[in-house]
Amino acid sequence: MLVLAVPLVLSSAAGSTSNTSPSANPTFVAAGNLTVCTDRFDARGIDFDLIDLVATRLGVTRQVVQAGIEDGSALNAGRCDITSGLVISASRTAVMDLSSTYFFDRLGLLVKNGAAIRKLDQFTKAKVTLGLQRGARGESEAWKRALAPTLFGDEDSLFRALLGGQVDAVLHDLIAVNHRMPSGFERSDEIDLDVWYGLAVRKGNAELLNVVNATVDDAVRDGTWANLYRKWVGSEPSTAVPIR
């Protein structure tokens, strides 16, 4: 990300009010454990690192179970205490309680070193080809901007096309762009999608939600969040998540 400052925004995108040092004593699905539902096979990422901080704060051990998390059914059936990260939406907040936001979606534009066309907005008039993965967030962003991208079925095909010269640039998830950036290419632009993520708990579980929110807020204040962002995204954060 090209702007290196990390301003702290004093407003909330989601979650309910809590202070930063809640005196909570939540009950757990399994005594002594903070049980996490996830639909991912790899229990790693900024969300799991933050959940580990929550578990440490509560003096319990994090354990993971595989379960669908999109509709809140696993939480409300008592299979787990918390989920891995979810995009915050009205339909989800209706069936589960979502924490303060801890992450935001961004896209990265990958071009050859020294390329003249370096901003996504320039692609509307430039005679260069832009590659995208079909169905990924970048596709809807490109159509919204009236671009005419070349679509590929998966991430591997997209990056092979870039290396093979089939496209001049790639617009894709920022994490993948940073971690898969080939030699001779650079990230020249970033696009904020205004898509925010939170951690979910069972509807009405205010004690656990308050601890989660306080943990996220403290991580932003003390620099832990910025370090986690650098670790997992591979960029400097251009903004911080809101502190309530």
Predicted local distance difference test score (pLDDT) of residue 207: 95
Q: Domain coordinates of the chain in residue numbers? A: 33-102+199-233, 106-193
CATH architecture, domain 106-193: 3-Layer(aba) Sandwich (3.40)
Residue 21 has pLDDT above 60, yes or no: no
The Cα–Cα gap between 82 and 124 comes to 43
- Higher pLDDT pick, 132 / 242: 132
Predicted local distance difference test score (pLDDT) of residue 193: 87
* CATH superfamily, domain at 33-102+199-233: Periplasmic binding protein-like II (3.40.190.10)
C-alpha neighbours within 13 Å on the C-beta side of residue 27: 5
Predicted local distance difference test score (pLDDT) of residue 127: 80
Q: Tell me the pLDDT tens digit for each residue of 152-181.
A: 999 999 999 999 999 999 999 999 999 999
- Higher pLDDT pick, 200 / 123: 200
Predicted local distance difference test score (pLDDT) of residue 9: 31
H-run or E-run covering 36: strand 33-38
Residue 4 has pLDDT above 50, yes or no: no
Same fold, 33-102+199-233 and 106-193: yes
Q: Tell me the pLDDT tens digit for each residue of 39-64.
A: 998 899 999 999 999 999 999 999 99
Residue 243 banded pLDDT, cuts 50, 70, 90: low
Residue 78 has pLDDT above 70, yes or no: yes
Residue 240 banded pLDDT, cuts 50, 70, 90: low
Q: Tell me the pLDDT tens digit for each residue of 177-195.
A: 999 999 999 999 999 888 8
Predicted local distance difference test score (pLDDT) of residue 16: 36
Q: Tell me the pLDDT tens digit for each residue of 202-225.
A: 999 999 999 999 999 999 999 999
Predicted local distance difference test score (pLDDT) of residue 143: 87
Are the C-beta atoms of residues 30 and 116 closer than 8 Å to each other? no
Are the C-beta atoms of residues 70 and 87 closer than 8 Å to each other? no
